[in-house]
């Protein structure tokens, strides 16, 4: 598949080139100060075709595999791009339904003009589920509240994950529908606007009835969200590292660059190692993800996100430390990257929540891949002292 | 699928089938018994054609690729088979002899190294030359057709059981420290060599201090040119790191699988304890899995580099640093699940075999010391990869 690898690299390079030219600097700062939403900017990205990347060709998209979005999200994270990226890039590529589908125009508009979709999903967290909210589908009616939904206020369509009692279903809701309430809430992530979404007996529109396939769609959406957020976090870590290496090479104290002090060098080396490992983990996961059966995809994505959540935040913290007082200000970019990393860290699971899920999956079904074909009950009782290295 | 892939798959199938038949031994806990059993195991592996897989045929190897070598390591470890005893010869010293050796050296030394008839050790570190290896002081002076060696080495694994030693010596004191080092291949039965085992915190007496007291070494045992030992030593250390990274990754994966299997059987037998205890077990296993996926992803790159025949690179230090951290995470997470019973050998908290996990955990603490400490790797990453100014 050398061709598609090349395409993937080209998409990411084009995104990097465009953002370096038009977004870095004052414009980004302005957008970060306006809470992450600017219709013009969203329309500009739509014009560039970024939201159509993984939409099938039959629906007017470029037809790239979902994994091609990974390197693009790395660049989006690296440039700290604002807006409903996950929603507008991922969801149109995943919600494929037959032609007469009522909500199709809203999805087409998201791709074509950048009017956001919003993902109303109580499954963003396990350990804070009680605080985060819940949605149930009762007959054809939705009830419940989700306390933090990205860009719900701006969205033309709500993609809702609801509990059906026996599983989950994906429902599509027009925000203008009676019984939908959208309330403003504050955001501590400069790239994202949040709102609270309340459903009080709302008719769910146009989605296939809840069935096993729907449950699978929910897992797929959440898994790809996890994986792409991991990629975005990898980009956040990458830029934090790059800026730090530049900084410690230039800034002088005690008559020499601070990068010549070993304590500083070792932190920089750890930052590099952490970022490189995250980057490689994302690439390896992307390489496996397109073809993975749903249970494997879930484990792969949870693993990547668990690592990203922990790693990116640590890299950002070291970046702030090595920038000194400047790192603590809003004048330096480091603080903005850090806040975004902190917000993404908990979105679809921080490391502890996901480690618990992964551990449960392994203890339930046994070892993932390594030795499924070996009868370990016969031999695992042995001791295997390791002979030197 | 390319032909290359197919032949690798066939190779894997053949290795797996052979291992299933071979009845690999259990490695005894007692060091002397372990040595004997694993030396016999090396002979068995050698005779079946599983050693020196990527080495040239004239050296007694199989002439296959590094990918084949990696596949065999994976299969060996997954079959819960132990490593052959001569791992230092096979993974560390041998490849350098194969690459830099004279015809005589390769013909005479390598087949016996592979078969386990000769066990090798690596005499690099000294009491005053550890991280700063190039400052080593063990002297060798030319005397007729011989070198005469005197000095001391330390932390030399298996020196008391080895027949041969790859020895770094100073042959010129008047030049830059790296430029005065030679690489000798020394017969450990030569008069004047004393090896004294040192007990490690795992309880094993596996490494030694070694004294060289006017030991005569034939000039034909010089590897490479006189005073040209440093680049070869770098090659040896690079091979050691790459080999250890690939092998330890698989060993850690298998260890986690074994721990999960022990925990699962225990849960199947009875209640899985309080919710808090269960949560802790799940979190630990999850964390280990994540760490090992990271290592797997990282070593895919290493493998690509290795197969492409790349020599040691500063990127190897990233692998080494990561491997050390992850190995220590995995074994400390598992050992922590023993709770206070880690201090009671023979106990089975949550179904885990405490002796094994305590041993593995203790051994993992050495990972960030041998083969170049983690601090040294960080220096290399910062200066050579990130281009930060030398202090
Ligand atoms: C289990 C085991 C097996 C071994 N087997 C062998 C073997 O077979 N053959 C062999 O030759 N050697 C072997 N070694 C030795 C090993 O290579 C050395 O221990 C290692 O290189 C460190 O050297 P040292 O012990 O002298 O520690 P030192 O170099 O004294 O280091 C002590 C501490 O100081 C730090 N330090 C030193 N220099 C710097 C610096 N420039 N910057 C920052 N920190 C620094 C180190 O990171 C370390 O934390 C083995 C070691 C172990 C633990």
- For the stretch B272-289, pLDDT in tens is 678 888 999 999 999 999
Kindly name the residue from B240, B251, B327, B333 that is annotated as catalytic. Answer: B240
Strands (E), chain A: 117-120, 133-138, 141-150, 157-163, 168-173, 180-184, 194-203, 252-253, 256-257
Cα-trace Rg, chain B: 22
Q: How far is A4 from chain B (nearest CA, A)?
A: 17
**Residue B3, pLDDT score:** 43
Predicted confidence band at B242 (pLDDT cuts at 50, 70, 90)? Answer: confident
Is pLDDT at A282 greater than 50 in this prediction?
Answer: yes
ipTM of the complex: 0.91
Predicted confidence band at A207 (pLDDT cuts at 50, 70, 90)? Answer: low
Is pLDDT at A377 greater than 80 in this prediction?
Answer: no
Token pair 């197969």 is found at: B307
pLDDT in tens, A102-161: 567 888 888 999 999 999 999 999 999 999 999 999 888 999 999 999 999 999 999 999
**Residue B180, pLDDT score:** 98
Name the least confident of A298-312, B139-153, B257-271, B332-346. B257-271
Share of chain A above pLDDT 90, in %: 77
Which bin fits A348, alpha (ψ -120 to 50), beta or left (φ > 0)? Answer: left
C-alpha count within 13 angstroms, C-beta hemisphere, residue B97: 36
Is pLDDT at A2 greater than 50 in this prediction?
Answer: no
Tell me how long chain A is.
Answer: 389
- pLDDT higher for B258 or B59? B258
**Residue B245, pLDDT score:** 83
Is pLDDT at B90 greater than 60 in this prediction?
Answer: yes
Instruction: Tell me how crowded residue A364 is: count the other CB atoms within 10 A of its CB.
Output: 10
Is pLDDT at A96 greater than 90 in this prediction?
Answer: no
Task: Kindly determine whether residue A380 and residue B300, on different chains, have CB atoms separated by under 8 Å.
Answer: no
The residues in B 140-199 lying below 8 A from A, measured between CB atoms, are: 157-158
How many whole angstroms separate alpha carbon A140 and alpha carbon A198? Answer: 16
The residues in A 224-253 lying below 8 A from B, measured between CB atoms, are: 245, 248-249
Predicted confidence band at A213 (pLDDT cuts at 50, 70, 90)? Answer: low
Kindly state whether B370 is in contact with chain A, defined as any CB-CB distance less than 8 angstroms. Answer: yes
**Residue B333, pLDDT score:** 98
CA terminus-to-terminus distance, chain B: 50
Q: Which of A258, A262, A269 to mutate to test the interface with B (most CBs of B within 10 A)?
A: A269
Nearest neighbour of B261 by CB, restricted to A256, A265, A380: A380
Kindly state whether A256 is in contact with chain B, defined as any CB-CB distance less than 8 angstroms. Answer: yes
Task: Kindly determine whether residue A388 and residue B377, on different chains, have CB atoms separated by under 8 Å.
Answer: no
Helices A2-22 & A69-78 angle (0-180, nearest 10) = 20
Q: Which residues of B touch A303 (CB under 8 A)?
A: 289-290, 293
Instruction: From the CA of B122, give the closest atom in ligand 1.
Output: 9
Q: What CATH number has the domain spanning B121-227?
A: 2.40.110.10
What's the CATH superfamily of A213-388? Answer: Butyryl-CoA Dehydrogenase, subunit A, domain 3 (1.20.140.10)
- pLDDT higher for A368 or B154? B154
Q: Which of A247, A253, A263, A389 to mutate to test the interface with B (most CBs of B within 10 A)?
A: A389
Q: Which of A227, A242, A256, A273 to mutate to test the interface with B (most CBs of B within 10 A)?
A: A273
Predicted confidence band at A95 (pLDDT cuts at 50, 70, 90)? Answer: confident
Kindly state whether B329 is in contact with chain A, defined as any CB-CB distance less than 8 angstroms. Answer: no
Is pLDDT at A387 greater than 50 in this prediction?
Answer: no
Nearest neighbour of B158 by CB, restricted to A264, A382, A388: A388
Is pLDDT at B312 greater than 80 in this prediction?
Answer: no
Kindly state whether B293 is in contact with chain A, defined as any CB-CB distance less than 8 angstroms. Answer: yes
Task: Kindly determine whether residue B294 and residue A362, on different chains, have CB atoms separated by under 8 Å.
Answer: no
Q: How far is B172 from chain A (nearest CA, A)?
A: 31
Angle at B185 between CA B180 and CA B186, to 5 degrees: 110
Q: For chain A, which residues make up each domain, given as ranges?
A: 2-115, 119-209, 213-388
CA distances, A198 to each of A123, A147, A149, A252, B6 (Å): 16, 8, 10, 54, 56
pLDDT in tens, A336-349: 999 999 999 999 99
Is pLDDT at A47 greater than 60 in this prediction?
Answer: yes
Predicted confidence band at A97 (pLDDT cuts at 50, 70, 90)? Answer: low
Task: Kindly determine whether residue B26 and residue A270, on different chains, have CB atoms separated by under 8 Å.
Answer: no
The chain-wide mean pLDDT, for chain A, equals 89
Task: Kindly determine whether residue A377 and residue B391, on different chains, have CB atoms separated by under 8 Å.
Answer: no
Say how many Å lie between the CA of residue B377 and the centre of ligand 1: 12
Choices 1.10.540.10, 3.40.190.80, 2.40.160.20, 3.10.28.10: CATH for A2-115? 1.10.540.10
Query: What's the whole-number mean pLDDT along residues A354-362?
Result: 96
Choices 2.40.110.10, 3.40.630.10, 3.40.190.10, 3.20.20.120: CATH for A119-209? 2.40.110.10
Strands (E), chain B: 120-123, 139-143, 146-157, 164-170, 181-187, 193-198, 207-218, 222-223
Query: What's the whole-number mean pLDDT along residues A269-289?
Result: 97
Say how many Å lie between the CA of residue B317 and the centre of ligand 1: 15
**Residue B244, pLDDT score:** 85
User: Contact at 8 Å (CB) between B106 and B59?
Assistant: yes
Q: Active site includes B240?
A: yes
What's the CATH superfamily of B231-385? Answer: Butyryl-CoA Dehydrogenase, subunit A, domain 3 (1.20.140.10)
**Residue B299, pLDDT score:** 86
Beta strands A180-184 and A133-138, pairing class: unpaired
Instruction: Tell me how crowded residue A23 is: count the other CB atoms within 10 A of its CB.
Output: 18
Q: How far is A228 from chain B (nearest CA, A)?
A: 17
How many whole angstroms separate alpha carbon B260 and alpha carbon A377? Answer: 11
Choices 1.10.760.10, 1.10.645.10, 3.30.310.80, 1.10.540.10: CATH for B3-117? 1.10.540.10
Nearest to B64, CA basis, from B78, B50, B76:
B50
Share of chain B above pLDDT 70, in %: 97
Instruction: Tell me how crowded residue B237 is: count the other CB atoms within 10 A of its CB.
Output: 19
pLDDT in tens, A76-87: 999 999 999 999
Helix (H, G, I), strand (E, B) or coil at A139: coil
Q: For chain B, which residues make up each domain, given as ranges?
A: 3-117, 121-227, 231-385
Task: Kindly determine whether residue A355 and residue B290, on different chains, have CB atoms separated by under 8 Å.
Answer: yes
Q: H/E element holding B87?
A: helix B87-87
Say how many Å lie between the CA of residue B376 and the centre of ligand 1: 9
Query: What's the whole-number mean pLDDT along residues A252-269?
Result: 98
The yes-or-no answer to whether A2-115 and A119-209 have a common fold is no
Q: Which residue of A has its CA nearest to B35?
A: A387
Task: Kindly determine whether residue A359 and residue B85, on different chains, have CB atoms separated by under 8 Å.
Answer: no
- Model pTM? 0.92
Predicted confidence band at A365 (pLDDT cuts at 50, 70, 90)? Answer: confident
User: Contact at 8 Å (CB) between A289 and A213?
Assistant: no
């Amino acid at each position: 598949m050398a061709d598609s690898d090349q395409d993937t690299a080209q998409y990411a390079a084009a995104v990097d080139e465009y953002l370096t030219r038009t977004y870095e600097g004052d414009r980004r700062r302005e957008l970060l100060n306006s809470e992450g939403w600017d219709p013009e900017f969203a329309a500009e990205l739509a014009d560039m075709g970024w939201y159509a990347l993984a939409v099938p060709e039959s629906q007017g998209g470029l037809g790239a595999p979902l994994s091609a979005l990974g390197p693009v999200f790395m660049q989006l994270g690296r440039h700290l791009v604002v807006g409903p990226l996950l929603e507008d890039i991922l969801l149109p590529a995943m919600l494929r339904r037959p032609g007469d589908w009522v909500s199709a125009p809203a999805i087409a508009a998201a791709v074509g003009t950048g009017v956001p979709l919003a993902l109303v999903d109580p499954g963003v967290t396990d350990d804070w589920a009680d605080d985060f909210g819940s949605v149930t589908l009762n007959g054809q009616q939705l009830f419940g509240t989700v306390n933090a939904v990205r860009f719900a206020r701006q969205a033309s369509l709500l993609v809702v994950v609801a509990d059906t009692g026996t599983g989950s279903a994906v429902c599509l809701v027009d925000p203008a529908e009676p019984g939908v309430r959208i309330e403003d809430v504050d955001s501590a992530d400069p790239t994202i606007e949040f709102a609270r979404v309340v459903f009080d007996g709302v008719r769910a529109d146009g989605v296939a009835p809840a069935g096993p396939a729907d449950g699978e769609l929910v897992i797929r959406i959440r898994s790809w969200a996890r994986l792409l957020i991991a990629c975005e976090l990898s980009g956040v870590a990458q830029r934090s590292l790059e800026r730090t290496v530049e900084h410690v090479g230039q800034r002088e104290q005690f008559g020499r660059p601070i990068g010549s002090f070993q304590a500083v060098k070792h932190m920089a080396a750890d930052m590099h190692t952490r970022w490189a490992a995250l980057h490689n983990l994302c690439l390896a996961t992307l390489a496996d993800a397109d073809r993975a059966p749903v249970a494997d995809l879930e484990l792969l994505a949870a693993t990547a996100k668990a690592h990203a959540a922990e790693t990116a935040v640590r890299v950002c913290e070291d970046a702030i430390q090595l920038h000194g007082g400047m790192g603590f200000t809003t004048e330096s970019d480091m603080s903005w990257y850090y806040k975004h990393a902190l917000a993404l860290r908990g979105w679809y699971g921080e490391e502890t929540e996901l480690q618990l899920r992964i551990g449960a999956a392994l203890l339930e079904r046994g070892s993932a891949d390594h030795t499924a074909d070996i009868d370990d009950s016969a031999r695992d009782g042995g001791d295997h002292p390791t002979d030197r290295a | 699928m390319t032909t290359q892939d197919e032949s690798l798959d066939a190779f894997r199938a053949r290795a797996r089938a052979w291992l299933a038949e071979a009845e690999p031994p259990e490695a005894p806990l007692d060091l002397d018994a372990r040595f004997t059993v694993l030396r016999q195991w090396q002979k068995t592996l050698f005779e079946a054609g599983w050693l020196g897989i990527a080495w040239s045929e004239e050296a007694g190897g199989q002439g296959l690729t590094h990918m084949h070598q990696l596949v065999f390591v994976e299969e060996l470890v997954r079959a819960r088979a132990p490593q052959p005893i001569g791992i230092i010869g096979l993974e560390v010293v041998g490849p350098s002899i194969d690459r830099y050796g004279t015809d005589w050296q390769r013909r005479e030394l390598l087949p016996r190294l592979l078969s386990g008839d000769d066990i090798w050790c690596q005499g690099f570190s000294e009491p005053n030359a550890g991280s700063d290896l190039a400052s080593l002081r063990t002297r060798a002076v030319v005397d007729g057709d011989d070198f005469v060696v005197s000095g001391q080495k330390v932390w030399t694994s298996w020196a008391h059981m080895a027949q041969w030693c790859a020895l770094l010596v100073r042959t010129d004191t008047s030049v830059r420290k790296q430029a005065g080092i030679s690489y000798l291949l020394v017969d450990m039965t030569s008069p004047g060599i004393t090896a004294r085992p040192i007990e490690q915190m795992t309880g094993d007496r596996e490494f030694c201090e070694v004294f060289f007291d006017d030991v005569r070494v034939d000039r034909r045992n010089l590897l490479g040119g006189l005073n040209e030992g440093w680049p070869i030593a770098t090659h040896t250390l690079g091979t050691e790191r790459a080999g250890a990274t690939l092998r330890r990754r698989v060993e850690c994966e298998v260890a986690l699988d074994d721990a999960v299997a022990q925990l699962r059987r225990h849960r199947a037998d009875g209640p899985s304890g309080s919710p808090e205890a269960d949560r802790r077990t799940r979190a630990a296993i999850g964390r280990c899995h994540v760490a090992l996926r990271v290592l797997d992803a990282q070593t895919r790159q290493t493998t690509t580099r290795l197969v492409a025949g790349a020599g040691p690179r500063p990127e190897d230090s990233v692998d080494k640093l990561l491997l050390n951290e992850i190995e220590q995470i995995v074994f400390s997470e598992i050992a922590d699940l023993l709770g206070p019973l880690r201090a009671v050998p023979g106990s089975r908290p949550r179904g885990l075999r405490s002796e094994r996990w305590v041993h593995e955990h203790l051994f993992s603490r050495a990972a960030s010391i041998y083969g170049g400490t983690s601090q040294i790797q960080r220096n290399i990453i910062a200066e050579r990869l990130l281009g930060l100014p030398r202090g």
